[in-house]
Structure 1
Amino acid sequence: MIFSGALMSTDEATQSLGGIFDGTSAVHWPLIPNSPTLQPLIEVLLDTPEFFVMFWNTCILTFPQLIGQFLLASPAAWAFSRFTFRGRNLLFTIYTILMLLPFQVLMVPDYLVLDRLGLMDTIWSIILPGAVSTFPVFIMKKGFDGIPVSVLEAAELDGAGAITTYIRIGLPLGIPGILSALLLSFIEAWNAIEQPLVFLKSQNLWPMSLFLANITQDDIGIAMVASVFMLLPVILIFLFGQRYLILGIQSSGVA
Structure 2
Amino acid sequence: MIKRVMVRVVLTVMCLFVWLPLFLMAGNSLMGEWEMLDRFGAVFGAANRPVKAALLPSYPTLKPYVELLLDSPGFYVMFWNSCLQTGLAVAGQLLVALPAAWAFGALSFKGRRGMFLIYIILMLQPFQVTMVPNYLVLKRLSLLNSHLAVILPAAWSAFPVFIMAKFFETIPRPLMEAAGLDGAGSWMIFWKIGVPIGKPGIVSAMVLGVLETWNAIEQPMTFLKEQRLWPLSLYLPEITADKAAVAWAASVTAMILPVSLFVMGQGALEQGIAASGIKE
Asked whether the two chains share a fold, i.e. TM above 0.5, the reply is yes
Query: Does the alignment pair 1:245 with 2:280?
Result: no
Match of 1:210 among 229, 234, 237: 234
Alpha-carbon separation, structure 2, partners of 1:254 and 1:59: 33
Q: Following TM superposition, by how much is the alpha carbon of 1:17 offset from its aligned partner in structure 2, in angstroms?
A: 2.5
The letter of the residue matching 2:188 is T
Using a 3 Å threshold, how does the CA distance of structure 1 residues 224 and 86 change in structure 2: closer, same or farther? same
Q: Following TM superposition, by how much is the alpha carbon of 1:162 offset from its aligned partner in structure 2, in angstroms?
A: 1.2
Q: Following TM superposition, by how much is the alpha carbon of 1:120 offset from its aligned partner in structure 2, in angstroms?
A: 0.5
Question: Which residue pairs with 2:5 in the alignment?
Answer: none
Structure possessing the higher radius of gyration over alpha carbons: 2
The letter of the residue matching 1:18 is G
Question: Which residue pairs with 2:217 in the alignment?
Answer: 193
Number of corresponding residues = 254
Verify the 8 A CA contact 1:144 1:170 in the aligned structure 2. Answer: yes
In the TM superposition, 1:24-173 aligns within 5 A as: 26-173=50-197
Using a 3 Å threshold, how does the CA distance of structure 1 residues 13 and 151 change in structure 2: closer, same or farther? farther
Alpha-carbon separation, structure 1, partners of 2:138 and 2:79: 24
Structure 2: gaps of 5 or more residues: 1-23
The letter of the residue matching 2:132 is V
Q: Deviations over 1:220-252 (max 9, x none)?
A: 111111011111111101111101101112222
Q: Following TM superposition, by how much is the alpha carbon of 1:72 offset from its aligned partner in structure 2, in angstroms?
A: 0.9
- Greater RCO between the two (CA within 8 Å, min separation 6)? 1
Alpha-carbon separation, structure 1, partners of 2:167 and 2:157: 17
Query: Does the alignment pair 1:183 with 2:207?
Result: yes
Using a 3 Å threshold, how does the CA distance of structure 1 residues 181 and 222 change in structure 2: closer, same or farther? same
Structure 1: gaps of 5 or more residues: none
Q: Deviations over 1:10-31 (max 9, x none)?
A: 2322332234334989432222
Alpha-carbon separation, structure 2, partners of 1:145 and 1:197: 38
Q: Deviations over 1:122-155 (max 9, x none)?
A: 0000001101111100011011112233322231
Structure-1-length-normalised TM-score:
0.94
CA-atom RMSD in angstroms: 1.8
Using a 3 Å threshold, how does the CA distance of structure 1 residues 153 and 196 change in structure 2: closer, same or farther? same
Using a 3 Å threshold, how does the CA distance of structure 1 residues 82 and 2 change in structure 2: closer, same or farther? same
Query: Does the alignment pair 1:174 with 2:198?
Result: yes
Equivalent position SS for 1:69: helix
Using a 3 Å threshold, how does the CA distance of structure 1 residues 92 and 26 change in structure 2: closer, same or farther? farther
More deviation in 222-231 or 149-158? 149-158
